[in-house]
Amino acid sequence: MTQQEIHARLRERFGNAIRDWQTPETGDACIRVAPKILHEVCAALRDDEDLRFDFLRLISSVDRTECLSSVYHLYSYTHHHEAVLRIDLDRENPHVDSVSDLWAAAEWHERESFDMMGIVYAGHPDLRRILLPEDWAGYPLRKDYVAPKEYHGLTNE
Amino acid sequence: MTDEPHPLPITNGAPQICPGATDAERMLAESIREPRDLTRYLFYLRTARKEGLPLVVAPLDAAVNWARANAIWPLTFGLACCAIEMMAVGASRFDLDRFGAGAFRPTPRQADLMLVAGTVTHKMAPRVKRLYDQMPDPKYVMAMGACTIGGGPYSVHGYHVVKGIDRIIPVSVYVPGCPPRPEALIDALLWLQMQMAKGRPISSRYLPKRWHKSKESPFEGGAGGCCVDSPSPDSGIPNIPLHPLQRGKKDMDS
């Protein structure tokens, strides 16, 4: 099943919460989902007989300046097809439901997104920094991040 | 205690001459201007044996330094891609065992050389410092690669990287490269061995000036207790031994 067909099927079920299909000029196409129904959509993708997305490849995050995005790359080992979901979040208050109960692999990916971009995944069992020290201030991969002058007495210059 | 001198007086500095030594023995003893220099010591021993003279001078630390330099036990400690080169040096093609330095130890308490191979992040820095503190004296640190020397590719925009390992621990020898080739590492090791054989406690000489003030240390316990004979804080520029390639042949022979 192509991604456009998957999009059509989701549109059929969730209506306007799934944005219109757009073929991008560059890069990979993605299915844009409203953050509120993300968990529902993911559950449907995983459990539907024809879709059966049993593998979460990765969750990445993007700072688009006007918003923060979380991108989910899914793959089905049953049907050998793939899909990319994208959600856009409010920059000031980036909250979205965790999908770690659907795919255990999401746990560390969501922690990384939280660590680097500050996206909060509600319902995550252990949401804390994974790469940086726990007392680090700020989210380094955001465009407006200013590197600290020093950390525990070690200067950064 | 008797008045009889010990046949092998243990000295840690200038040669000691036993009372009752003949003029020839005295001259030989005084000819060793640098008693820590093993070559001169062995030369003296040969001459003494040839001339049938009794052993008068015994700078034991020359022998100890010689043994120390030829039995370096590095710490198994790789942080990033430099560690791949370090492993290559340890493996059969380059074979660090040829120099007596192939016994990588899994614990800092048995190691005397810390090969800091790779990027040291702010998160890792306290761990590096702790490992260094756990090593017994005398200990030596080799800063391998651009990241360890000054941050390398992360020196400008690396918010998370320590800009030089010498901000945390004193460094004996720097090996530039990204990563350095195994030959460079072997070269640094040979140079380190040369310094060790001469009994130079070089780990303290590279200590940046700011580290002499322990209150500036970001971690507990100051800059680290490696200093065998730490130069005084006001001594100005420390006496840094030159790399063999930078020295003339005349200097290399001495």
Helix axes B60-69, B38-50, angle to 10 degrees: 130
Cross-chain residue pair A155–B163, CB shorter than 8 Å: yes
Compute the nearest-CA separation of B97 from chain A (Å): 36
The residue in chain B having the minimum alpha-carbon distance to the alpha carbon of residue A150 is B159
pLDDT tens-place string over residues B108-130 = 999 999 999 999 999 998 889 88
Residues of A in contact with B162 (CB under 8 A): 154
At B66 the three-state DSSP class reads helix
Residues B144, B106 share a domain: yes
Residue B114 lies in a domain: yes
Mean pLDDT confidence for B149-161: 88
Residue B3 to residues B25, B29, B55: CA-CA distances in angstroms?
A: 20, 21, 18
> Which residue, chain included where needed, has tokens 């999401």?
A106
Strand pairing report for A154-155 and B113-117: unpaired
Distance of alpha carbon B29 from alpha carbon B41, whole angstroms: 10
Cross-chain residue pair B160–A157, CB shorter than 8 Å: no
Residues of A in contact with B215 (CB under 8 A): none
Mutate to test the interface with A, among B159, B210, B214 (most CBs of A within 10 A): B159
Helices (H), A26-120: 38-47, 106-117
pLDDT tens-place string over residues B40-83 = 666 666 776 676 665 545 456 677 778 888 899 999 888 999 99
Closest by CA to B114, choosing from B172, B198, B181, B180, is B172
B160 — contact with chain A (CB < 8 Å)? yes
Cross-chain residue pair A140–B160, CB shorter than 8 Å: yes
Residues B77, B65 share a domain: no
Residue B129 to residues A126, B70, B224, B226: CA-CA distances in angstroms?
A: 29, 26, 8, 12
Compute the nearest-CA separation of B107 from chain A (Å): 24
Q: What does pTM read for this prediction?
A: 0.69
Q: How many residues does chain B have?
A: 254
Mean pLDDT of chain A: 91
**Of B24 and A25, the one with more pLDDT:** A25
B243 — contact with chain A (CB < 8 Å)? no
In the predicted structure, residue B15 carries a pLDDT above the cut 80: no
Task: Convert B135-160 to b/e letters by CB count within 10 Å (16 or more is b).
Answer: beebbbbbbbbbbbbbbbebbeebbb
Any idea what the Cα angle at residue B148 is, between residues B143 and B150, rounded to 5°? Answer: 120
Backbone phi, psi, residue A18, to 5°: -100, 125
The residue in chain B having the minimum alpha-carbon distance to the alpha carbon of residue A141 is B159
pLDDT tens-place string over residues B76-111 = 888 999 999 999 999 999 999 999 898 899 999 999
Residues B228, B109 share a domain: yes
Residue B183 lies in a domain: yes
ipTM: 0.81
**Of B78 and B29, the one with more pLDDT:** B78
Residues B197, B83 share a domain: yes
Cross-chain residue pair A154–B157, CB shorter than 8 Å: no
Which residue, of B19, B45, B69, is where some domain finishes? B69
Architecture of domain A3-155: 2-Layer Sandwich (3.30)
Residues of B in contact with A155 (CB under 8 A): 163, 167
Point out which residues pair with A150 in neighbouring strands.
A155
Residues of A in contact with B217 (CB under 8 A): 153
Residue B240 lies in a domain: no
Distance of alpha carbon B205 from alpha carbon B201, whole angstroms: 8
Residue B165 lies in a domain: yes
The number of distinct structural domains making up chain B is 2
Residues B135, B51 share a domain: no
Residues B88, B129 share a domain: yes
Domain around B210 = 72-232
Tokens of B211: 């580290």
Residues B93, B33 share a domain: no
What pLDDT score was predicted for residue A127?
Answer: 92
Residue B252 lies in a domain: no
Compute the nearest-CA separation of A47 from chain B (Å): 41
